[in-house]
Amino acid sequence: MTEVKSLKEILNKDWDATGQKVNYEKSKIFLSKYIHHRHKKLLKSILKVGDLKAKDKYLGSPLLLSRSRMTDFSYLG
């Protein structure tokens, strides 16, 4: 978990240098199904981010794709 804390420190240092701050309320994380749920919970609490869901979108496009691109992008046409 020290790596996660180090990552958060790096993001905060980058904010100090650039003036751009990470919005943790809007940020989400995708974690493998092979990670134990206790570790997932701990990671999310350290980073203060939510889970990325399969149906989440960014600018109207799906962030996670299924095996069927036709289904993922059916809204286009």
The ranges assigned to domains in the chain are 1-73
Give the chain as a DSSP string: -HHHHHHHHHHHHHHHHHS----TTT-EE---TTS-HHHHHHHHHHHT-EEPPTT-EETTEESS--S-HHHHTGGG-
The answer on pLDDT for 72 being more than 90 is no
pTM for the structure as a whole: 0.65
| pLDDT of the residue at 10 | 85
For the chain, percent of residues with pLDDT exceeding 90: 10
Q: pLDDT tens-digit profile of 35-71?
A: 999 999 998 998 889 898 888 888 888 888 888 888 8
Confidence of residue 15 (pLDDT cuts 50, 70, 90): confident
